[in-house]
Structure formats: C-alpha cells, structure tokens
C-alpha cells in the first residue's frame, strides 16, 4: 500500500491498522469483494434464475440480473482482477470467483442442452466458454462505464444476444 494510503485515510484508521488486519492489498480487496457480495445478496439476487420455467427464460433472466449486479460491483471486481496479476491473495480470490462464474454459466448452458434447445454448432463446453467471455468484466465495463448504458439497457440487450446466440429456433 502506498505511503499516504487512501484506503486507510477514507476508513479513518492508520495505515498500520490496515496492515495489521490485512496481509496484502489483495487480502483487503478480497475481503471487500466478500462484503459487497454479502451486502448485494448475490445468492438471493440470482436465485430466481433456477425457478425460471425453461432454460431460455433462465438465460434471459440471468443476463438482466448479471447486468444489475455488475453495475453495482464492477469497480471492486476490476480491482481484484487487476491485483490478481501480482498478488497471490487476490489471485486466489479471483480464481475462486471465476470458478463460480464458470460453473453458473455451465449450469445454464447444460439446462439449454438438456431441454434440447441449445443452438446448433455449440457444445456445452464451447457455449459455456463463450458465455463466460460475454459476461466478462471488460464487456460490462465497456457497456456500463465507457458507453454509459444503464443496467437495464445492458441487461435487455444482453438477454437478446444470449437468446439469439445460444437458443435454437
């Protein structure tokens, strides 16, 4: 952490207090990400996806909820992603976060496949990889930050894109 640490300053504590509690910037970022996920109720936010009547509806609902969620947590997610390149704590946290993103995506795509509506040309593996890329921080940042889209716009357009891309017919 820098000599004049804005994290410590904004928290109203000394730099030493931050270092005593967190072993690294990555550790601090991971704790922040965990806190944000708790406050944002990540499990509750995405729970209705599993209750969708069919896979195509689940995929669209996922797109909308993901856009809303990313609009709220993108700065923290990007900070951890950047820190993961140099900090082992952040790298472990990022690896875990990416694992859960991948598994969530795989479950959605597997449901499309099991319902017989996965678009031709895709396998569960290739579609899962593509979905992971489409919901990446970079795509979210481009739409929400750089282009100024609202979470609602991003969610609706992503829902259309995912349906057109992954759902047969």
Which residues contact residue 115 at a Cβ distance below 8 angstroms, ignoring those fewer than 6 apart? 54, 55
pTM higher than the cut 0.85: no
Closest C-alpha among 92, 71, 41, 89 to residue 158 = 71
Task: Give domain 6-166's CATH superfamily.
Answer: Tetracycline Repressor, domain 2 (1.10.357.10)
pLDDT at res. 138: 97
Question: How far is Cα 15 from Cα 7, in angstroms, rounded to an integer?
Answer: 8
pLDDT at res. 135: 96
pLDDT at res. 8: 61
Q: At what angle do helices 124-134 and 88-114 cross, to 10 degrees?
A: 130
Question: One digit per residue, pLDDT tens: the chain, 169 residues?
Answer: 444 556 566 667 676 766 667 776 667 766 766 776 677 666 766 677 889 999 999 999 999 999 999 998 898 889 889 988 998 888 888 898 899 899 999 999 999 999 999 999 999 999 999 999 999 999 999 999 999 999 999 999 999 999 999 999 8
Domain chopping of the chain, boundaries? 6-166
Exposure of 92 in the CB half-sphere (CA atoms within 13 A): 10
**Burial zone of 46 (CB within 10 Å; 0-12 exposed, 13-18 middle, 19+ buried):** middle
- As beta bridge partners, residue 118 has 167
């Amino acid at each position: 952490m820098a000599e004049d640490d804005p994290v410590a300053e904004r928290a109203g504590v000394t730099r030493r207090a931050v270092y005593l509690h967190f072993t690294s910037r990555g550790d601090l970022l991971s704790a922040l990400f965990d806190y944000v996920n708790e406050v944002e109720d990540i499990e509750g936010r995405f729970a209705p996806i599993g209750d969708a009547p069919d896979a195509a509806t689940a995929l669209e609902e996922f797109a909308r909820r993901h856009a809303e969620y990313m609009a709220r947590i993108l700065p923290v997610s990007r900070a951890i992603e950047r820190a993961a390149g140099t900090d082992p704590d952040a790298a472990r946290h990022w690896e875990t976060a990416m694992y859960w993103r991948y598994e969530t995506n795989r479950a959605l795509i597997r449901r499309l496949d099991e319902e017989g509506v996965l678009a031709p040309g895709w396998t569960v593996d290739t579609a899962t990889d593509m979905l992971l890329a489409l919901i990446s921080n970079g795509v979210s940042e481009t739409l929400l930050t750089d282009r100024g889209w609202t979470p609602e716009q991003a969610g609706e357009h992503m829902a259309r894109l995912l349906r057109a891309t992954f759902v047969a017919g």
